[in-house]
Structure 1
Amino acid sequence: MKPTSLAMAFLLGLLVAAGLFLLRSVPEPVAPRVITPRGELAPQEETVIALFEAARGSVVSITTEERVLDPWTRRAVDVPRGTGSGFVWDAQGHIVTNAHVVRGASGARVRLADGRQVAASLVGAAPRHDLAVLRIDTRADPPAPLPVGESEGLRVGQSVLAIGNPFGLDWTLTTGIVSALDREIPSESGTIQGLIQTDAAINPGNSGGPLIDSAGRLIGVNTAIFSPSGSSAGIGFAVPVDVVNRVVPQLIRTGRYRPPVLGVVHDERITELARRRGIEGVLVLGVEPGSPAAQAGLRAARQDASGGLVPMDTIRAVDGRRVASSADLRDALEEHAPGDEVTLTVRRDGDDVEIDVVLGAPQP
């Protein structure tokens, strides 16, 4: 055999050997594992899914705009300002959200669960309760409103669901329980009192979204979180639906919220000074003529010959609810509507007396 033929045969042998080696080193195909059947969902899971699917369509995403001056063209333009959540209140296209979501905005757009985006106008806001109402054109055929529950009978430990748009992640569901009741937090407009505390994760963007109970009813409006990091730390707060159901109809009707009128003048600084002197309650500094307080015979403090203040009547409770500050008195009165009769516990001449008062309506 010629040397060339020997070399070719040697190379061919090497190729065959290498091919056999590679064939032996290629792993056999691995088949996917057999799927284990899931079986039925747990009843609790089925309930949560059904609640979310029933409520999702009533929740909206809100994008606000801010009007700024273009430094180059010197023209006013609208730029994105922030995002939040809201929900359909009624068939007239009213959307409830937080006042801080729309504060300072020049405009807003609402995105419905089906993807449609519609312009919204501001109807009114109640910053003290961090509530606001927007309105969209009813020709947009808004979804059905959420069923309204009540917050008076809530109990710590009840299951709750929060739906909103945290960090722009639309229609996010979180679950938890009622962690505490009657909480208060500071806000730009003062102190918001009587809030529901929940451990359902609430993050920036959830503001204005609904808090729902296990019956699918609205029980609160998510408003704030307590978090050093700015994200959910398991402590969120919601405005109780009883407050929402009292404030929102008046915002829709008049564009602003004004509580029922008692007709007394009081000042927290004077009340605090009186408290230091051992006088508990809200000192009545003045009684407006013709007001419910005047008709009930409440007496205002007077000055003595030396110019000192002489207390006459001090309001200590409303319908048995103790009041120790001006804020306490306002909150107690706001639980009622014009025309309601309340019983004031008043300190007068060293004794506690009870005086019935029919609350009046605010002047237009």
Structure 2
Amino acid sequence: MFQRLLILTLAALFSTGWAHAQTKAQPRAVSARGALDAEELNNIGVFKRVSPSVVHITTLAVQRDFFSLRTSEQPSGTGTGFVWDDAGHIVTNFHVIQGGDRATVTLNDQSSYPAKLVGAFPDRDLAVLRIEAPRDKLPAIAVGASRDLQVGQKVYAIGNPFGLDQTLTTGIVSALNREIESVTRRTIRGAIQTDAAINPGNSGGPLLDSAGRLIGVNTAIYSPSGGSAGIGFAIPVDEVNRIVPRLIRDGRFIRPALGVTAGPLNLAQALGVPKGVLLVNVADGSPAAAAGLKPFARDRSGRIVQGDVITGLDGQPVADLDDMLSLLETRQIGEKVTLTVWRAGQTRKVVATLGSSD
């Protein structure tokens, strides 16, 4: 009797609960909303205009089986790039393609094309690829300027973090003129710091201003965990716009040169000379030799013979070799530069005509 009563009670409860659930399990009415605000509309507009110019880059490495000796291609990395022109040139970071034997570029419409390396400049972590694709599939990104950026400006990043293609993140310019290290350990000066989320896979993608113009190439993050921590860095577009055309034209970046060899920092400190580029060799027939520069040397008795220290170039201070190389990169082969030179306590200015680093 008790068991029958228990069964009936449970059945009644189940029936009531089921009926109650049936009553409540109805779609909710959609609440009306107003028009999108101006910021939302601009976010949407920037993404729609620029995303067709952003590409996904996959690199492949050839691996050989230890036992069978058979070779196979394995994915070695992914990153982002963007269309530079309708000739198929794609700009990305050098470290995105570094170590890969082959690269594939996937466009916004998911069509993929094999890519060839046109040129690279590892000191600035930049590379240019080229794909053979119809011109109507290659909308070139609009290029802006970085020289007039201000802290607080709105910025956007579009990329492929963790392989999730066509991801938009927003933020501001957090700081300007930061220094970051390239893959060659050379200093990249003038980097843009942003709090727009930049994660692995975003490298090589565009940093945009609120008009959707390219203002930088996302290249690095500062994060103990390896994920976005609100501190990302981008190579300024003024640098990109100076280097990329030369990579397309020459296949590499040929830096103008003076034909000198710099001594190590500890030597300069030991000799008590001013900060600058202490010369330990001046190549015969070089621009530096023609300008009368002399290296530090030793005489027959082993005593140091005072040579030259380059402390400035065209009125800009030179504290070390990295400073001088960065300034030379902004010049052209055959251009004349004015060097500030220290020797034995005296400072003078000399004019040199830049040669090629080849």
Normalising by structure 1, report the TM-score.
Answer: 0.87
Tell me what 2:230 maps to: 234
Instruction: Indicate the residue corresponding to 1:279 in structure 2.
Output: 273
SS of match in other structure, 1:242? helix
- Cα distance change on mapping 1:23 and 1:152 into 2, 3 Å: closer
Single out whichever of 178-187 and 30-39 deviates more from structure 2. 30-39
Gaps of 5+ in 2: none
Residue identity opposite 2:324 in structure 1 = L
- Answer with 93-102 or 247-256: which moved more: 247-256
Give the aligned residue type for 2:19. V
Evaluate the alpha carbon distance shift between residue 20 and residue 165 of structure 1 in structure 2; reply closer, same or farther with a 3 A threshold: closer
Structural mapping, 1:269-308, within 5 Å? 269=264, 271-280=265-274, 281-308=276-303
What SS does the corresponding residue of 2:80 show, helix, strand or coil? strand
> What displacement does 1:140 show?
6.8
Q: Which runs of 5+ in 1 are unaligned?
A: 1-10
168-177 or 295-304, which moves further after superposition? Answer: 295-304
Match of 2:109 among 100, 108, 114: 114
Normalised by the length of structure 2, the TM-score is 0.88
CA distance in 1, matches of 2:333, 2:197: 37
Instruction: Show CA shifts across 1:104-135 (max 9, x none).
Output: 11111110001101111112222111111111
The 8 Å contact of residues 341 and 356 in structure 1, kept in 2 or not, is answered as yes
Q: Which residue, 355, 360, 363 being the options, matches 2:350?
A: 355
Number of aligned pairs? 347
CA distance in 2, matches of 1:24, 1:151: 64
Q: Give 1:32 shift.
A: 4.7
Equivalent of 1:53, from 30, 48, 51?
48
CA contact (8 A) 2:124 2:182 kept: no
Structure 2 Cα separation of the partners of residues 82 and 262 of structure 1:
38
Deviations 1:20-54 (A, max 9, x none): 99579833734654433221211122112211111
Whether the 8 Å contact between 1:118 and 1:140 is mirrored in structure 2 is no
327-336 or 183-192: bigger deviation: 183-192
Choose from 263, 266, 276 the match for 2:262: 266
SS in 2 for 1:90: coil
Displacement after TM superposition at 1:187 (Å): 4.3
Q: Percent identity?
A: 53
Q: 1:221 aligns with which of 192, 199, 217?
A: 217
Moved more, 58-67 or 333-342: 333-342
SS at match of 2:323: helix
Instruction: Decide whether the 8 Å contact of 1:283 with 1:311 is kept in 2.
Output: no
Q: Which residue of 1 aligns with 2:173?
A: 178
Q: Offset of 1:75 from its aligned partner? A: 1.7
The correspondence for 1:26, drawn from 19, 34, 46, is 19
Distance 1:309 1:162 in 2: 54
How far is 1:330 from its partner? Answer: 0.9
Aligned AA (1:274): A
Q: Larger Cα Rg: Structure 1 or Structure 2?
A: 1
Which position in structure 2 is the counterpart of 1:5?
none
Distance, in Å, in 1 between the alignment partners of 2:318 and 2:13 is 93
